[in-house]
Amino acid sequence: MTSIGTGYDLASSTYSPDGRIFQVEYANKAVENSGTAIGLRCKDGIVLAIEKLVPSKLLVPGGNKRTQTVDYHVGVATAGLLADGRHLVGRAREEAAHWRSTYKEPIAGKQLADRLSSYVQAYTLYSSVRPFGSAVILGTFDHTGPALYMIDPAGNFFGYRGIAIGKGKQLAKTEIEKLKLDELSVRDAVREAARILHVVHDEAKDKDFELELSWICEASKNRHVMVPADIAADAEQFAQQALNPDEMED
């Protein structure tokens, strides 16, 4: 069977003869062309980190964030088309707010992941819409402890101890697998996340990037917030030293 759409990629409601939905595959390709995003579930919290590529030096630093807060205890990191990611964040906020209004309690991470993935999957069923070109890493911290999920453009969601999406996901996953996440604190995980993103960054193709770091832990009162500037700077320095140990010694 050919790997080219040849007419079967005109609508997401059409299968190819070998059982593929090409528009979903194209959406996954949009995610793979994006900067790398990783999520780590540690013994005492969640760490989200993003390699936000900077296409122009004229852009204002800190803009177009790919890390967003959905509810007090829920944070997301997106990879792929930025506008699609923002739309999914908005939908997740609506689901979280509706749950609070109905049940008078914060939404559980698994329930939110299930609802958001069902919404994403609906956009793969009809010819009048297209799949979202964005994948979402969703981190939560509730009475059961920290939890980490990933939702892909097909509408699948899975729970993870560590996950990477984006162009450097394969190398990032290899590095994550080396970590003892059950023994790792969020402070150490922030440093490791910064190191991993510096390792996977391709300087030949992508010159500049901003490192976005956020966490949900006891230090943040179990709320999703950006990592404090001093801790983020320490993580950056740790990453640079890990990449260039000889230069740091000199």
pTM, 2 dp: 0.92
Query: pLDDT by residue (tens digit) across 69-96?
Result: 999 999 999 999 999 999 999 999 999 9
37: part of which helix (H) or strand (E)? strand 37-41
Q: 106: closest CA among 131, 146, 73, 128?
A: 73
- Residue 3: the pLDDT is 54
Contact 40, 192 (CB under 8 A): yes
pLDDT at 150 over 50: yes
pLDDT at 7 over 50: yes
Q: Which value, in Å, is the radius of gyration of the alpha carbons in the chain?
A: 19
| 154/93 Cα distance (integer angstroms) | 20
Among the residue ranges 22-31, 111-120, 234-243, the one predicted with the least confidence is 234-243
pLDDT at 9 over 60: yes
pLDDT at 247 over 60: no
For the residues 48-52, what does the mean pLDDT come to? 95
End-to-end CA distance of the chain: 57
pLDDT at 100 over 80: yes
Residue 143: pLDDT band (50, 70, 90) is: confident
| 151/138 Cα distance (integer angstroms) | 8
| Mean pLDDT of all residues belonging to the chain | 92
Residue 4: pLDDT band (50, 70, 90) is: low
- Residue 11: the pLDDT is 85
pLDDT at 246 over 70: no
Residue 1: pLDDT band (50, 70, 90) is: very low
pLDDT at 5 over 60: no
Query: pLDDT by residue (tens digit) across 172-224?
Result: 999 999 999 999 999 999 999 999 999 999 876 767 899 999 999 999 999 99
N residues, the chain: 250
Calculate helix-pair angle for 82-103, 109-122, nearest 10 degrees: 130
Q: Which residues contact 206 (CB under 8 A, 6 or more apart)?
A: 35, 53
How far, in Å, are 34, 133, 137 from residue 140 at the CA level? 23, 23, 10
Among the residue ranges 61-65, 100-104, 167-171, 234-238, the one predicted with the least confidence is 61-65
Distance from CA of residue 20 to its chain's centroid? 25
